[in-house]
Structure formats: structure tokens, C-alpha cells
A = this chain, B = another copy of it.
């Protein structure tokens, strides 16, 4: 954490390359669906974390409850989200991706993953094995970090 090692330098270089590229693909796809970036982000969040209440949306995105409510409302009207009453607490809402919403997310993932397949084509078979192994190490480490909080 004090001085950057070769490892962390390489990790940063990769992230810079990778982030820049995938960000473009991501926002391009969001635009092509007609959804705004905040709207798309909400769908992404639902996809990653599963169903949640309205308050969690406003916390995650650091906006007021009113803003979250309005944003979600548009997504519900567009058919991407289901908004149901929480049977355990009738004040609360249960937000979840609809089938249409799930399909959209999958489509987006496809687009964003396409360049990875191109990437794979630039890497020899023996290298792929080593890269796969290394990424698995990274993924495991990342999950360990996630658990902490």
C-alpha cells in the first residue's frame, strides 16, 4: 500500500486499458436502448445485487428518495422493472428486473463481452491457460474483499 510494486503497477495499467474500453461500450449500449445512464445503472444494480427496496436505490446512488421513486417509475412504465408491495412491510416496495429487463441486461453483457472474444483471439493457447489461472486468483481475491463490508 505504501510503494507501488511491479504487481500493482501492472494491475493499474490493465485496469486503465480495460476500463476505458469497456466504459465506452457500456455507455454506447445504454444510449442505443434509449435509456439514460442513471436508469441503466439501476437495472445493472438490480442485476448484480438482486431485488431490493426503494430506499436501497436512493442510498446506492446517493440521490433523494423522490429521485429514486421517479426514476424507478419510468423503468416500471417502460416494462423493465416490476414494483410490488412487500408483504412483510406494506410501506415498502420490492423492485426486481422483469423478463424484459433481464433480457436487456443480457444483451448488454453480450455487447460488452464481444471484444473479450476478440482479445482471446490474440492470445495463444498456452498463454490462455496461464491467464485463466491468474484471473481466477484475482477473482477469488476480489470476492474476499467484498465480504469484508
Contact = CB atoms under 8 A, between A and B. Distances in A.
A116 B22 contact: no
Size category, A interface: 35 or more
Contact of A136 (B10, B16, B116): B10
Interface of chain A: mostly helix, strand, loop or mixed? helix
A145 B131 CA distance: 17
B20 A44 contact: yes
Given A7-B128, A12-B109, 16 more contacts: A1-B120, A1-B121, A8-B117, A10-B132, A10-B135, A10-B136, A10-B139, A11-B119, A11-B131, A16-B109, A20-B48, A23-B23, A23-B26, A123-B137, A127-B137, A133-B134
